[in-house]
Amino acid sequence: MGKTRIKQNCETESFDRRFTLIFEKEKKAVFSTAYYILGRREDSEEIVQAAFLKLWEKRKTLDDIENVGAWLKKIAANLCIDRLRAARRVKRTPVFELQSDFPEYRSSAETLVQKEMLDAVMEAVKLLPPVERAVILLYTLGGLTTNEIAEQLGTASSTVRNQVLQARKKINKIVRKKYEKS
């Protein structure tokens, strides 16, 4: 009985070390995935916690996961989509505000124009349906291919390509409308 307890303690300590290493290695990538989809730091931090909690819950079958980093990003993306869908059911208006990482002071007119254009595009992205928003952000900012996104979302690559095209068209239309009024 004593040997079994010692073995369990060693396995637990070993997993604790492994979990800590995985957390340190993957936390930024998981956060980035969530931030690209949600656009809010606080929500993204909650998604990181939830994703790693799911990993902790699967600790006994961790060896069955071939690529833990990809698995965590997929879990984070799915959690984000779930959150967007839930928010959309509660409130039919854009939920998340852009949290710009740009400094307040700008010295050149070109930089101001670029910031204004980025803000217009991000405002347009916030108006997209949740799945299109997630797909376009994963594709453009996340740098994922349509095949990778399709795999994460459990859908066909052609569906993702179509969603990217539709999202781009909608963004262009919204941004053009804004600048035609100006």
Highest CATH level, class, for 1-97: mainly alpha
- Going from N- to C-terminal start, the domains of the chain cover 1-97, 100-182
Query: What CA–CA distance (Å, rounded) separates 121 from 171?
Result: 7
Place of tokens 């910031």: 115
Cβ atoms of 57 and 162 within 8 Å: the answer is: no
CATH number for region 100-182: 1.10.10.10
Q: pLDDT digits over 108-164, tens only?
A: 555 556 667 777 788 888 888 888 888 888 887 777 788 888 888 888 989 989 998
Query: What CA–CA distance (Å, rounded) separates 140 from 171?
Result: 13
- The pLDDT of residue 80 is 85
Cβ atoms of 47 and 72 within 8 Å: the answer is: no
Cβ atoms of 27 and 48 within 8 Å: the answer is: yes
Give this prediction's pTM: 0.48
89 closest CA partner among 134, 35, 34, 129: 129
Across the range 84-111, mean pLDDT stands at: 49
